[in-house]
Structure 1
Amino acid sequence: MKKNAFFIMLIVTFALSGIAHYAHWDMIAQFAFSAIAILFVAGFLGKATESVAHYAGQRLGGFLNATFGNAAELIIAIFLVREGLFDMVKASLTGAIIGNLLLVLGLSMLLGGIKFKQQHYNVEAAGHNATLMIMAVIGLFVPAVFVTSENFSVRKDEILSLSVAGILILSYLLWLIFSMITHKDILADEQAPPDHGEEPAWSKRTSVLYLITATVMVALVSEWLVGTLDTFSARFGLSELFIGAFVIAIVGNAAEHSAAVMLAMKNKIGAAVEIAIGSSLQIALFVAPVLIFVSTLFGQTMDILFTPIELTAIAVAVFIAQSVSRDARTNWYEGALLIMVYLILGIAFYLV
């Protein structure tokens, strides 16, 4: 019954969002319907990836969930890049990184920790995740410092941005080879409890079909949503920074929220951490660099220079997330701390 109600709401909100867009309703109404629709579409994406994860295993499943969960952010960002809204793109990437590290991981630890006093996952994976998070900060921090302090020309800025983007993508691809092929046994989550005969929501073929369908739906709703952002931000006096870093990020992270929290409450904190931290790493090491190359295809290269505010937010999120996750043990209090840091950043971004 609940599943039928979800699919009815999914279809209704998606249809209303499409009607609002193509019938040229008031922009605020378009924004509202698109934002609600993308929550249900992202939830559908989360359910599909969780079902696929059942067949693929927890680690690969967590990676797939993070990848398809990031489809919303990537697709929204591509439309923003096409419109030349580079500042909003960077803000949305910042929001996606801190949203996953603080809000998604925080909620997972909090709700999972309330149900289970202490949860454990692979300590090797925790250590490598911490190192990769620092790598991501270095990749975003170094260009900003050098270009600003040395007053690089536009050409040098482009060369540095494209070079760093290529190196970050290579680093991420090497991590996939390391974690999924050469060292997958070492990084396997041995702490994960058995499924006890739990059946996936759908068959393997249906799960893959739904995954593709959900991704297409995310692409459509994302395009409708992006078209309303200028009017929405102007109407309510919100900065592009706040819209990108919190509104778009929270909406786009809906898939990760639902899947990670659900897994944590099943005592599968390893998969939840893989989704939250893995998603942030994917944004910083793969999605952001890919967008640099995508912008070049559109005729104007977006640099990889994040503002001091954005870099500070990312560094703070990485620092606290690394601190609470490095020992591969979690509890509800650590989750609460992550959420508190997210609230601090949210208030600061709102006042910009």
Structure 2
Amino acid sequence: MKFLKYMLIFIPISIVGKFMNFSPAVMFILAALSIIPLAGLMGEGTEEISFYSGPKIGGFLNATFGNATELIISFFALKQGLFEVVKSSIAGSIIGNILLVLGASMLAGGLKHKTQEFNKNIVETTSSMLLFAVIGLSIPAVFTHTFPSDLLNTRYEGLSIAVAVIMFILYILSLVFSFFTHKELYAVNYEEEGKAKWSLKKAIIILIAATIFIAIESEFLVDGVEGITSNLGLSEAFVGIILIPIIGNAAEHTTAITMAMKNKMDVAIEIAIGSSLQIILFVAPILLFLSLMFTPMSIIFNQFELIALIVSVLIANKVASDGQSNWLEGAQLVAVYLIIAAGFFIV
């Protein structure tokens, strides 16, 4: 993670570039290179806070702030009416976490430890909920793609908001389940290593500062989407489903792989699957609610996004079924992700 700190130099460069009217494509690249280390600082800040708040609260904060980067980026995209980018980034985060992050973690951990074990009861609970959640998220699209348009009410936004409210309630219930009624299922399996390097005050200040700079850079990034799509010939779907999730979650991806290499597959899998669950139940509803401030957004995925989402979640449930992982399973997950990425690239 140390090399990420050297990338902070791109923050002042991007700000200077904004005042000097660099091209949108260049600003997109500079903003992306700035967001990656900022997301890393945000992750490090929440990790330091966990030493003071305890691992359970720390884990929750890590997942929440881990998705904050993408939430901020999506907010500015929403503000500019880039709905396809927003919807693609939601789908891309879920697919990327399940296939790329989980796959890379299993591959790296498996090469070092051959066969790794994890608590399948916890993972089964999370992955089963993920399956129900992605089905709910897909319902508006299923209705749209299944029934003739003359049989449907044209106000898809209303159905999307209804689904978002139900998802958000389910998110609250999941917190009650994990923090109160069934907290014994989520008992920490590993002792916390080391001690805090930062004071609580320093960790909070860095967390706030990183969030502010991410908001600034996210606006630069979104302003450059049109430039990057026209200059490089990329579709908005590819930018949303591949580039933005990788940029926003780069630090989180690194953490998951590091945990797997330390033979802490429970943590690595929870980062991958738990983060996907939070995207569906928390980030997606919040974005739909925020869209009411501008132009209401419907959460209608295209057929390819739907298939990729459902297949990814089914794979997550299959992986959770035996409580073991190896490097070949990881390679297979990464391969599926690359195939999906290639599909969106040619769009």
TM-score, normalisation: structure 1: 0.92
Q: Distance in 2 between matches of 1:205 and 1:258?
A: 25
Measured after TM superposition, the shift of residue 57 of structure 1 is 4.0
1:206/1:308 CA distance change after superposition, 3 Å: same
Whether 1:203 aligns to 2:202 is no
Q: Give how far 1:254 is off.
A: 1.0
User: In the alignment, is the contact (CA less than 8 A) between 2:117 and 2:324 conserved in 1?
Assistant: yes
Alpha-carbon distance in 2 for matches of 1:221, 1:99: 22
**1:285-324 mapped onto 2 (5 Å cutoff):** 285-298=281-294, 300-324=295-319
In structure 2, the CA distance between the partners of 1:215 and 1:326, relative to structure 1 (3 Å rule), is farther
Structure 2 CA distance for partners of 1:113 and 1:208, relative to 1, 3 Å: farther
Q: Distance in 2 between matches of 1:199 and 1:32?
A: 36
- 1:227-306 matches, within 5 Å, as 227-298=223-294, 300-306=295-301
Secondary structure of 1:201's counterpart equals coil
**Identity of aligned pairs, percent?**
45
Shift of 1:21: 1.8
Contact 1:66 1:276 in 2 (8 A): no
In structure 2, the residue matched to 1:325 is 320
- Please tell me the root mean square deviation across aligned C-alpha atoms, in Å: 1.8
SS in 1 for 2:31: helix
Q: Aligned residue for 2:212?
A: 216
1:117 Cα shift?
2.6
Any conservation in 2 of the 1:49–1:211 contact (CA below 8 Å)? Answer: yes
| Separation in 2, partners of 1:130, 1:185 | 18
Unaligned runs of 5+ in 2: none
Q: Does 1:9 align with 2:7?
A: yes
**Length, aligned pairs only:** 344
Q: Distance in 2 between matches of 1:244 and 1:337?
A: 23
Cα drift, residue 8 of structure 1: 4.6
**1:121 Cα deviation from its structure 2 partner:** 2.7
Q: Does the alignment pair 1:169 with 2:168?
A: yes
Deviations 1:187-207 (A, max 9, x none): 2243x3x345x1233233322
Aligned with 1:297: secondary structure?
Answer: coil
Q: Deviations over 1:298-348 (max 9, x none)?
A: 2x2101211111111111111112211233322222211111110110111
Pick closer, same or farther for the CA change 1:26–1:146 going to 2, 3 Å.
Answer: closer
Amino acid at match of 2:160: S
In 1, distance between residues paired with 2:4 and 2:107? 25
Moved more, 45-54 or 330-339: 45-54
1:283 Cα deviation from its structure 2 partner: 0.8
Structure 1: distance between partners of 2:332 and 2:49: 32
- Matching of residue 345 in structure 1 with residue 344 in structure 2: no
CA contact (8 A) 2:140 2:159 kept: yes
| Alpha-carbon contact 2:7-2:33 (below 8 Å) kept | no
CA contact (8 A) 1:54 1:200 kept: yes
Q: Which residue of structure 1 lines up, in the alignment, with residue 100 of structure 2? A: 103
CA distance 1:105–1:54, shift in 2 (3 Å): farther
Structure 1 unaligned segments of length 5 or more: list them: none
Q: Is the 8 A contact 1:122 1:189 kept in 2?
A: no
Structure 2 partner of 1:140:
137
Match of 1:334 among 299, 307, 329: 329
TM-score, with normalisation over the residues of structure 2? 0.93
Deviation digits for residues 128-150 of structure 1, max 9, x if unmatched? 11211111221122221223415
User: Could you tell me which residue of structure 1 aligns to residue 187 of structure 2?
Assistant: 188
Q: Which amino acid aligns with 2:186?
A: L
Tell me the equivalent position of 2:43: 46
Could you tell me which amino acid in structure 2 is paired with residue 162 of structure 1? I
Inter-partner Cα distance in structure 2 for 1:281 and 1:163: 18
Comparing 281-290 and 118-127, the one that deviates more: 118-127
